[in-house]
Structure 1
Amino acid sequence: MAVGALWNFGQDSGYLLGESLVGFTVGAADGTIGRVERQEDRINMQHLVVDTGVWKFGGSVLIPAGIVTVIDSQEQTVSVSPSRDDIKTAPRFATDSETTDQEYLTEVGDYYHALGF
């Protein structure tokens, strides 16, 4: 699994270690993605699982912490760099076991690295 900036919240993101983002609204520049369902806080594995509601057939997506640009605790929002379409075409998230599956996380990491993140 690739480690580094993609799998850790950036210093400028506003994230405070141990802060729960569950329930926060996640958005890109081109619209809302969904709400944070779960989060993983282990260093070099930090990510969010976001319930996308109906825009992605009622599924969830796994978002690496490194693509989070701004966390606004007051407004309970998380902003991300990629567009909705970029996130929509990311490797599908199907089961909870994928949040720790090295092969799946590598696939997700490779996808976002190919986009320049």
Structure 2
Amino acid sequence: MNDTVWSYRDSTWSEDRDLVGYEVEADGGSIGTVDSASTETAAQWLVVDTGFWIFGKKRVIPAGVVVGMDHDAKRVIISMSKDQVKAAPDYEDSEWAHEDARLRHAAYYEPYAGQDRA
């Protein structure tokens, strides 16, 4: 897997932090809250509950698209727009263990990883 997609720019952002409940902000506003966060060393991501914004769908947000964190405000800032997140593949917990699901997500998010916010 592409390290840029699955790694935080600053490793201290997630170090010893529980990110569940943090608001996730894209260009254009909030996309939802962190429902769960990976603790894998090789690949890190957030699962975001979008609520009613995308009809209750969840999205995987790879660590590589995170451009900032405000732990005081409990907010994660990403490099993508709301429309780009909306167009992302749906997250299905039952499929996530399969490598092809992770590769599909990596391919979608790779152009946005490592970029600054629009």
| Normalised TM-score (structure 1) | 0.88
Deviating beyond 2 angstroms after TM superposition, the runs of 4 or more aligned structure 1 residues are: 97-101
How many residues get paired? 113
Structure 1 unaligned segments of length 5 or more: list them.
Answer: none
Q: 1:47 offset after TM fit, Å?
A: 0.3
Q: Which runs of 5+ in 2 are unaligned?
A: 114-118
How far residue 41 of structure 1 moved from its aligned partner, in angstroms, is: 1.7
**1:88 equivalent in structure 2:** 86
Written as runs of structure 1 = structure 2, the 5 A alignment for 1:61-80 is: 61-80=59-78
Tell me: CA distance 1:51–1:116, structure 2 relative to 1, closer, same or farther (3 Å).
Answer: closer
1:98 is the counterpart of 2:95: yes
Are the counterparts in 2 of residues 14 and 71 from structure 1 also a CA contact under 8 Å? no
Whole-angstrom distance in 2 between the partners of 1:98 and 1:17: 27
In structure 2, what is the equivalent of residue 107 of structure 1? 104
Match of 1:15 in 2: 13
Asked whether the equivalents of residues 35 and 52 of structure 1 are also in contact (C-alpha less than 8 Å), the reply is yes
The alignment status of 1:28 with 2:22, answered yes or no, reads no
Distance in 1 separating the partners of 2:23 and 2:74: 6
Q: Specify the alignment match of 2:116 in structure 1.
A: none
AA paired with 1:9? Y
Cα 1:78/1:108, change in 2 over 3 Å: same
Helix, strand or coil: the match of 2:95?
Answer: helix
Cα shift at 1:58: 1.0
TM, length-normalised to structure 2:
0.87
State the shift of 1:14 in Å: 5.3
CA deviations 1:28-58 (Å, max 9, x no partner) are 1211100000000212210000000111011
Q: Label 1:7 to 1:29 Cα distance change in 2 as closer, same or farther (>3 A).
A: same
